[in-house]
Structure 1
Amino acid sequence: MKPVRVLIVGTGGMANAHAEAYAAMEGVELVGGVDRNPDNLHAFNAKHGITHAFDSVVDALEWGAFDAVSNVTPDAVHFPTTMPLLAAGKHVLCEKPLAVNHGEAVQMAEAAFHAGVVNMVNLTYRNIPAVMEAARLVGEDTIGEVRHFEASYLQSWLTQPAWGKWNEEAQWLWRLSSKHGSLGVLGDVGVHILDFATFVAGSNTERMSCRLRTFDKAPGGQIGEYTLDANDSATMQVQLHNGAVGVVHASRMASGHLNDLRLRIFGTKGGLDVRWENDQSILRACLEGDLMEATWQDMPLPAVKTNYVRFIEAIRAGEAVLPDFDRGAILQQALDAAVASDADGCRDLAI
């Protein structure tokens, strides 16, 4: 089996998860790293046994001895780093959100289509068995026509230091600064919970209203070079194309929740409760036979393959894989509408 040679672009914290996932796969070689920060780059390469180092995508492409790329750069860098990779015919797994606006996301999706390469957005909660099983059940009409849902993504890293000191470490501070490419909690985890909800519901967002809030976190809203202006909490009211309505919210100020997602979704024949809490995947259902007593049952969860595995398998098979850049562009359109709604007095907007 010919090895798939992978380049990692961006060598911050999340890049380690990508590298470790590929290293665990047979027939996958980590061949290079790209980062403008030489200290980060060389430490990352040394940690993962990577021999080639580049300070730009252009330099890596001049070398060219790779087949696929994991793009783990900050949000604002996804577009300028991915486009030349697609033009060179490289397969790309890009971190979420795909871009910082819908226009750029569409260009990336179109470029990937014309290049004929495997393209994927790393919406990591597609790795959760409860999410994939819930989507299957809804798709098979198990809960009937979807009518209502509520979804949340709750983190508390702004109220406790379990993941690190947010006010001292660059890996957290950049996420609080729009100047450093952050879309705030909306872009960081709001994109996950929008995908979490609409993927399971089997329908995309048709209308959206949103309120974003940035809280005071430091004197003058500034720590060193970081202006802390990115949103910390987001609340959305959403209508889907299938007619369902729901509420979606995300926060970094949710004390007591390290990294928890939940979706409750209700149809004409039953309901599902989908959770990722304390690193546990949970799916409960109340279906037709239990509706009169409102009894909820734990559901069996088949194992699922990770995005990294499916990305490599798609490359070997020469097939498309989901969630792709088209999906990333659809989600970006909803994120853009959320920002526009907040800027316009939380007005309800068509998408």
Structure 2
Amino acid sequence: MIKAAIIGSGFIGPAHIEAIRRLGFVEVVAICDSSLEKAQEKARQLSVPHAYADVAELLRHDGLQVVHNCTPNHLHAAINRQVLAAGKHLFSEKPLCMTGEEARELVKLADDSGVVHGVSFVYRQFAMVQQAASLIRQQQAGRIFAVHGSYLQDWMLYDSDFNWRVSATEGGASRAVADIGSHWCDTLQFVTGRRISAVMADFSIVHPVRRVARGASTTFAAAEENAGYDQVAVDTEDFASILLRFDDGSRGSLTVSQVSAGRKNRLAFEVNASEMSIAWDQEVPQQLWLGHRDSVNQTLSDDPSLVNRDVAAAVHFPGGHIEGWPDAFKNMMLNYYRFIQQGKRPGVDAAHFATFHEGASVLLIVEAMLQSHQQQRWVEVATLD
């Protein structure tokens, strides 16, 4: 059994644990959090045998091989450095870090360390997203000329909605774009095989001041009634409209929102190419729409007997048995841990998951979008080289 530990036990930490446990060959041996009391309580709830309040102490846990960094954004870079220095395999929540300079540093440290490094870009792991990528990769779609879509949520719709991500100090200078727009960018770079090379962005703060409920607030949780509120100025965006250019000359557009009523978690995209259009909606994840000019449009289901051969392994049940976000998360962990199990290395062997290289690439896209909004002009996206 491979021994793994989780740092950070908020919304996403337990999701990592659940996916890991579904693999059958990985054991979650420890949780680390900001206080020992908090770590012990979460370890008790999730039946994890050990709890720590200090990362350095966790890294000395006997037999520990893999660490998952599920902490708030502003802690990612320092903890990732610490884990890499200890020589442990590392799977980091996104963003990889807070700045492009840190991203370049972490990519070099990860490559030099020889460990297996991954970043939690989960949407590329949906079977129908992989089918879309396969159609393009096998040239069944033809020449791509346009890519467009959105990532819409509503959990920040009210001025009383608040989370640590609202603060630029804790979440970063960008919120909606960095938090969810980053997923869309990784997904579309994966699907198309193209790199986003330039952006023109316009950000909007819908609630310049938010009423913050007194007491702790976790992601997607509603404030307690009669808790009382404090007013806090907001310096991160709720909404963004972005034009895109890809490195092959194709064009695109993206809308990102955390204030779209009724949209709970809708990542959607459409790729327009010379032979067909391809569209997918995360809230209907088992369907892929294929549009045609001279024949009937198609809706493909995630049936392992119907998808391309190189995609079938991402579908684990017969057609009609819906697989969704937790299953995509499992696919991500399965691909990552198989890499470790088989003794492979990112960069040397092709990885079926996002590595620190992809994490850094997307962070540089977000930086360019932020710069574009601030300067109100087209901005070229920097590269790692």
For the pair 1:213 / 2:219, whether they are aligned, the reply is no
Question: What TM-score results when the alignment is normalised by the length of structure 1?
Answer: 0.89
Superposed displacement of residue 39, structure 1:
4.2
2:71 matches 1:76:
no
Q: TM-score, normalised by structure 2?
A: 0.82
The answer on whether the counterparts of 1:276 and 1:282 sit within 8 Å (CA) in structure 2 is no
Q: Deviations for 1:274-330, whole angstroms, at most 9, x for unmatched residues? A: 22115x3320112xxx4225x320124345161111111111011233311001111
Instruction: Calculate percent identity across the aligned residue pairs.
Output: 25
Aligned mates of 1:127, 1:51 — CA distance in 2: 30
Deviations 1:95-120 (A, max 9, x none): 11211121111211111111111111
Deviations 1:58-100, CA, capped at 9 Å, x for gaps: 2212335310011111111111001111121111111112111
Partner of 2:321: none
Residue 306 (structure 1) aligned with residue 331 (structure 2): yes
Once residues 62 and 256 of structure 1 are traced to their aligned partners in structure 2, the CA distance between those partners, rounded to angstroms, is: 46
| Cα shift at 1:234 | 1.6
Aligned partner of 2:163: which letter?
Answer: L
The 5 A counterparts of 1:121-136 are 121-136=119-134
Which runs of structure 2 are paired with 1:1-351 in the superposition (5 Å)?
3-63=1-61, 65-159=63-157, 167=160, 173-182=163-172, 183-216=174-207, 218=209, 224=230, 227-277=233-283, 280-286=285-291, 290-293=292-295, 295-301=296-302, 302=304, 304=314, 306-319=331-344, 320=346, 321=351, 322-345=353-376, 347-351=377-381
CA contact (8 A) 1:144 1:267 kept: yes
Contact preservation (8 Å) 1:7, 1:31:
yes
Q: Which amino acid aligns with 2:86?
A: A
TM-aligned CA distance change 1:203 to 1:153, over 3 Å: same
Q: Are 1:35 and 1:54, in contact at CA under 8 Å, matched by a contact in 2?
A: yes
| 1:8–1:70 Cα contact (<8 Å) kept | yes
For 1:99 and 1:180, the matched residues in 2 are separated by 11
Specify the SS of the correspondent of 2:132.
helix
Amino acid at match of 1:326: H
Q: How many residue pairs end up in the alignment?
A: 335
Q: 1:25 to 1:264 in 2, by over 3 A?
A: same
Change (3 A) 1:267 1:343: same
Distance in 2 between residues matched to 1:215 and 1:291, nearest whole Å: 40
Does the residue aligned with 1:299 lie in a helix, a strand or coil?
strand
Which residue of structure 2 aligns with residue 163 of structure 1? none
Q: 1:272 to 1:219 in 2, by over 3 A?
A: closer
**Offset at 1:221?**
8.5
Moved more, 146-155 or 60-69: 60-69
Indicate the SS of the match to 1:63: coil
**How many Å separate the matches in 1 of 2:98 and 2:238?**
17
Aligned-partner SS, 1:207 = strand
Does the 8 A contact of 2:208 with 2:233 survive in 1? no
Structure 2 unaligned runs (5+)? 214-228, 305-311, 315-329
Contact 2:202/2:373 (CA < 8 Å) preserved in 1?
A: yes
Letter in 1 for 2:105: Q
CA distance in 2: counterparts of 1:228 and 1:152, whole angstroms: 23
Structure 1 contact 190–234 (Cα < 8 Å) conserved: no
Counterpart residue type for residue 338 of structure 2: E
Residues 212, 231 of structure 2: 8 Å contact kept: no
1:14-68 deviation per Cα after TM superposition (whole angstroms, max 9, x unaligned): 1110111122221211111111134432221111212222222222123353100
| Bigger share in helix | 1
CA–CA separation in structure 1 for the residues paired with 2:286 and 2:145: 24
Cα 1:27–1:157 change in 2 (3 A) is same
Listed as ranges, the gaps of 5+ residues in structure 1 are: 161-165
Rate the CA distance shift 1:230–1:22 in 2: closer, same or farther, 3 A.
same
